Amino acid sequence: MTAEHDDTQRPAHAPDEPLTIGEMSRRTGVAPSALHFYEGLGLIASTRTSGNQRRYARHMLRRVSLITVAKRLGIPLSDVQEAFADVPLTETPSHADWQRASRRWKRDLEKRREGIERLERELTGCIGCGCLSMKACGLLNPDDTLGSQGSGPQRLRDAD
Amino acid sequence: MTAEHDDTQRPAHAPDEPLTIGEMSRRTGVAPSALHFYEGLGLIASTRTSGNQRRYARHMLRRVSLITVAKRLGIPLSDVQEAFADVPLTETPSHADWQRASRRWKRDLEKRREGIERLERELTGCIGCGCLSMKACGLLNPDDTLGSQGSGPQRLRDAD
DNA sequence: GTAGAACCTCAAGTACACTTGAGGTCAAAT
DNA sequence: ATTTGACCTCAAGTGTACTTGAGGTTCTAC
C-alpha cells in the first residue's frame, strides 16, 4: 500500500472507454492470468481490438469485484456462476438484472452466515461451560454418548 | 437419510473403546481415505492394533467434526491446523485445551461473519436502491467514478 | 480353517483455481 | 524505425484436498 500504483502516470480515459486487461488487473487487484481464466469460465467477457487485445466494459469491474469477495468468503466459482446466471454478460446489466442477482446472493450469504453463527454459538457455549471436553454438553455432540444410537455428530452436520 | 446405516447390526462397543476407521467414517460422514489424509497432516491421530490397524480415541470424533464444519464454511485445513495447535493430539484434551481452541476459532469466525454481513448489507442496500447498476452508489464501488484516483474497489477489498 | 469384509501402504489420478513459461504480436515513445 | 512494455495463445506446472486402484494383510463369522 505504498506509492506503487500511481495512476497519474497511467493513461487517463474518458469515463466510458473500455479498459485493457492491465487496467482491470490494477483496479481489481486480480492478476491478468486470473482474468483470462474467469473469461474462459464465462464469468466475465471482453471484446477484442483489431489487434486481438482484450477490452473490458466498465461493468466488468463489478463482476470481478463480486468474484473476489465471493472467493474471500470461500464461495466456489461455480456458485458465482449460478448467481450471475441471469445477469447479461455482454451488455451493461439493467437495474433489474442486478437486483435479481443480489437477492440470490443474499439468500446464499444468509445461509452461510447462519452456519457460522451456529458454530459461534456452539463454541461460545463451550467456552462458558468448558463442555468442549465434557460429556454432559449436547451442543458440540459429546464424544459418544449419542453415538451408539447411530446419531453421529448430528448437531454439527445438519446445518445444510 | 433412510435406514441405510442401521447401527443395531454394527458391533456395539463399550463407551470408552476406541473406534475403527470404518466406525469413525460412519459416525462422521468422512471417508476413510480422508481420515488417512487428515492423519498425514497431523490433524488427527490414531494408535495401532498388533495387526497395524488404526484405532481412534473417541475424542477424535470431535476433531473430525470440527474439521468438517470448517470445510463447509470454506476454512482451509491449514487454518484448522493452527486452531488445533495447542490441543493435545494423543491424550484426551483438557477443558482448558478446548477452551483456548474455542476462543481462537471464535475470533476467526467473527471475522468471517463480519465479512459476510458487510457484503449482505451492501447487497441489501443495492436491492433497495437498485444501485448495483447505478453510478451513484458508493457501496459496491461504482463502475468507475472513483477509479481514476486509483482507489479501485476499496469497499469490497478492505474487509480483511 | 476358510470365506469375505475390513483394513493396510503407496502411487497415481482428479477437481478446482489459478500461475508460469515459451514463443510470438501489438502499440506507444524515442 | 526500433525499442520497450503490454498483450496474445497454449501447454504445463502448482497447491489444496482429496479419491482411486493395485497388491497385500487382518479380523470376524461360519
* pLDDT per 10-residue tile (average), chain B, 160 residues: 45 74 96 98 96 95 89 88 86 80 79 75 56 42 39 40
Strand partners, B154: none
Q: What's the pTM value of the predicted model, to 2 decimals?
A: 0.74
Which of the 8 DSSP states describes residue A120? H
Report the nearest residue to nucleotide C25, CA vs C1'. A51
Q: What is the pLDDT of residues A96-127, one digit of tens each?
A: 787 788 887 788 777 777 777 776 666 665 54
What cell numbers appear for B98 in the block?
A: 478446548
Cα separation, B32 vs B23, in Å, equals 9
User: Nearest-CA distance from A23 to chain B in Å?
Assistant: 10
- Kindly state whether B86 is in contact with chain A, defined as any CB-CB distance less than 8 angstroms: no
The answer to whether the Cβ–Cβ distance between A113 and B110 falls below 8 Å is no
- A18/A91: higher pLDDT: A18
What's the gap between Cα A79 and its chain centre?
8
Rg of the Cα trace of chain A? Answer: 23
CB proximity under 8 Å: B 9-28 to A: 10, 12-13, 15, 26-28
